[in-house]
Structure 1
Amino acid sequence: MRLTVYLAGEIHSEWRSEIKAKAQALKLPIDFVGPMEDHDRSDGIGEEILGEQPNAVFRDAAASSFNNLRTEVLLKKADIVVALLGEKYRQWNTAMDASAAIAMNKPLILIRPEELHHPLKELSEKANVTVATVDQAVKALSYIFE
Structure 2
Amino acid sequence: MNWTVYLSGEIHTDWRQKIMQGAKEHGLAIKFTSAVTEHEASDAAGDVLGKDENGFWRDHKSSKVNAIRTKNMIQKCDIAIIRFGDKYKQWNAAFDAGYCAALGKPYITLHAEDIIHPLKEVDAAARAWAQTPEQVVELLKYVTSDS
**What TM-score, normalized to structure 2?**
0.94
Q: Is the 8 A contact 2:3 2:144 kept in 1?
A: no
Are 1:85 and 2:84 matched, yes or no?
Answer: yes
Alignment-derived partner of residue 66 in structure 1: 65
**What TM-score, normalized to structure 1?**
0.94
Question: Within 5 Å, which residues of 2 pair with 1:5-84?
Answer: 5-48=5-48, 50-84=49-83
Aligned with 2:45: secondary structure? helix
Alignment-derived partner of residue 105 in structure 1: 104
Higher alpha-carbon deviation: 116-125 or 1-10: 116-125
Aligned with 1:81: secondary structure? strand
**In 1, Cα distance between the equivalents of 2:80 and 2:91?**
16
Q: Which runs of 5+ in 2 are unaligned?
A: none
Q: How many residues align?
A: 145
Aligned-pair CA distance for 1:84: 0.9
After superposition, what is the alpha-carbon deviation per residue over 1:15-54, rounded to whole angstroms, capped at 9, x for unaligned?
Answer: 1111101110011000000110111111111012x12224
Q: Which runs of 5+ in 1 are unaligned?
A: none
After superposition, what is the alpha-carbon deviation per residue over 1:86-137, rounded to whole angstroms, capped at 9, x for unaligned?
Answer: 2122111111111111111101111121111122122111101111111111
**In 1, Cα distance between the equivalents of 2:44 and 2:34?**
18
**In 1, Cα distance between the equivalents of 2:33 and 2:20?**
10
Identity %: 39
Q: Is the 8 A contact 2:84 2:110 kept in 1?
A: yes
**In 2, Cα distance between the equivalents of 1:111 and 1:56?**
30
**In 1, Cα distance between the equivalents of 2:130 and 2:16?**
16
Runs of 4+ in 1 over 6 A off after TM superposition: none
**In 1, Cα distance between the equivalents of 2:82 and 2:117?**
17
**In 1, Cα distance between the equivalents of 2:144 and 2:68?**
31
